[in-house]
Amino acid sequence: MDLLAYVEPLRRWWWLMVIAIVVTTGSSFFYLREVPPTYQASTTLMVGNAIESLNPNSNELALTQQLAGTYSNIAKRKTVQDKTKEALGMDWLPEYDARVVWGTQLLEIVVLDTVPERAQIVANELARQLILQSPTSLENQESRQFIQEQLDWLQTRIYETQNEIETARVELAESFSASRIAERQAYISSLEEKLSTLQANYVAYQANTQQGAINTIRVIEPAEIPIYPADPNKSLKIMLLAAVVGLVLAAGAAYLLDYLDNSLRGRRDVETALRLPVLGAVPRSPAEPVPNQPLKTLEDHPAVLEAYRELRTNLQFLALERPLRSLLITSPAPTEGKSRVASNLAASLARAGYKVILLDVDLLRPSQHRLFNLPNEVGIIDALRVDDAKIDDLLYTTDIPQLLVMPSGRANAYGAELLNSARMPR
């Protein structure tokens, strides 16, 4: 099957596809008119304080990025959701998502809602509840404040002890008695031991502080009330998608209807069904025939006239291999135009120089006598019924040279049986 076989059903049912596109697009348009726009509010948080360091450690950066992924998962958990709903006095939360900005220690909480103010409030409250679930909460802040106070006190004591050691060493250098020297040396040793203890405590507290700073989270960009919808082109995209869906459904329906339709609609259908070449295709002509001048009516319809010429030419080429003595013009149903085709083809052949006799064997609905303005008193019925009937007496001349017409004759109850008589082949 070639490409035209796939295109033909779409061409035949193009109006169905147009209707489907109009219906689906129109339905989506009226639906979207009733749907309020969606707004987006986002709060950005940062995990850890490595970004504030002049020489951030790569291990710390990697750890904070992993922690950011963990916090994004926690933000979607039921605990944070319930705390947020309780804090805001809401029974439900709008659609939201918590995601890590790739390659960074930043975390975004994005809320989608039809009410922009509510989107902002929910985004900020989710961030607050997430912070409360982390070591950055108030209780841990108090603990870190205590540690910082201890660090400040230890740093002061270290400076004081270092000064005392320096003073004692100066006094030792100025001492001359053995007892004084021994006493100063013992004092310096005790101060150095005290300094070592203070420094060890300071390092321990400082390590605790640095470890806590890695696992902290804070808001660096709170959510603001959104002014514009999150996706201003959403309606256009939905309508375009609806049009595509309508087109696909209509195309599928066109192929289904074409598969179920077994009628012959054109040259290709005939050739495919019968596996025979088509000699010609005559379009339907709206013109009324002119009595005794069949082709005269087609002068204003050149396409129809050209179709008869093409049919005549193909018959002429066919006659080169096997001379044509008779042609049968018929159709499977009445009122399909076989009488007009027969008269027009006979006139076209006669004008081409052929001697043509046109027999009207449609005994139920004869029409050739009307097309050529001839009487129908005698005709082929008489030739079949009367043994000694003279054929020449039953033929009528027309205004077209070399074209003779034998009407059907007066119809009777046995007309159809006469066509099966032994005289018909002769």
What percentage of the chain exceeds 70 in pLDDT? Answer: 84
Res. 416: pLDDT tops 70: no
The answer on pLDDT for 143 being more than 60 is no
Classify 357 as helix, strand or coil.
Answer: strand
- Residue 359's DSSP bridge partners are 406
- Ranges 27-31, 254-258, 281-285, 416-420: which has the least confidence: 416-420
Residue 252 in this model has a pLDDT that exceeds 90: yes
More confident residue, 214 or 227: 227
> How many residues in the chain?
426
For residue 177, what are the CA distances in angstroms to 165, 171, 180? 20, 12, 5
Domains of the chain: 3-35+233-260 (no CATH), 39-132 (3.30.310), 138-214 (1.20.58), 267-418 (3.40.50.300)
CB 280 within 8 A of CB 310: yes
Q: What is the mean pLDDT of residues 243-269?
A: 86
Q: Do the beta carbons of residue 8 and residue 268 sit within 8 Å?
A: yes
- Is residue 394's pLDDT more than 80? yes
- The per-residue pLDDT for range 309-322, each reduced to its tens digit, is 888 888 888 888 77
308 in Cβ contact with 282 (< 8 Å): yes
CA pair distance 99, 301, nearest whole angstrom? 72
**What is the mean predicted confidence (pLDDT) over 98-124?**
93
Q: Any idea what DSSP says for residue 295?
A: G
Residue 137 pLDDT exceeds 60: no
**pLDDT interval class at 138 (50, 70, 90):** very low
Rounded distance, CA 62 to CA 239, Å?
44
Residue 368 binned pLDDT confidence (cut-offs 50, 70, 90)? confident
Task: Say if residue 364's pLDDT is above 50.
Answer: yes
Q: HSE of 424 in the Cβ direction (CA atoms, 13 Å)?
A: 12
Mean pLDDT of the chain: 82
Helices (H), 104-177: 116-132, 138-174
Q: What is the pLDDT of residues 259-283, one digit of tens each?
A: 888 777 777 778 877 888 888 888 8
Sheet holding 217-221, edge to edge: 95-100, 106-113, 39-47, 217-221
Buried b (16+ CB within 10 A) or exposed e, 308-334: beebbeebeeeeeeeeeeeeebeeeee
Lowest mean pLDDT among 25-34, 71-80, 86-95, 201-210: 201-210
- Checking if the pLDDT of 29 tops 70, the result is yes
Q: Tell me the C-alpha distance between 178 and 99, whole Å.
A: 73
- For residue 56 the two structure tokens come to 């951030």
350, two tokens: 């006669």
Report the greatest alpha carbon distance in the chain.
Answer: 178
Mean pLDDT of 100-129: 93
Instruction: Confirm if 73 and 29 have CB atoms less than 8 A apart.
Output: no
Least confident of 218-222, 268-272, 287-291: 287-291
pLDDT of residue 351: 86
* Residue 139: per-residue pLDDT: 47
**How many Å apart are CA 128 and CA 122, to the nearest integer?**
10
pLDDT surpassing 80 at residue 423: no
pLDDT of 80 strictly over 90: yes
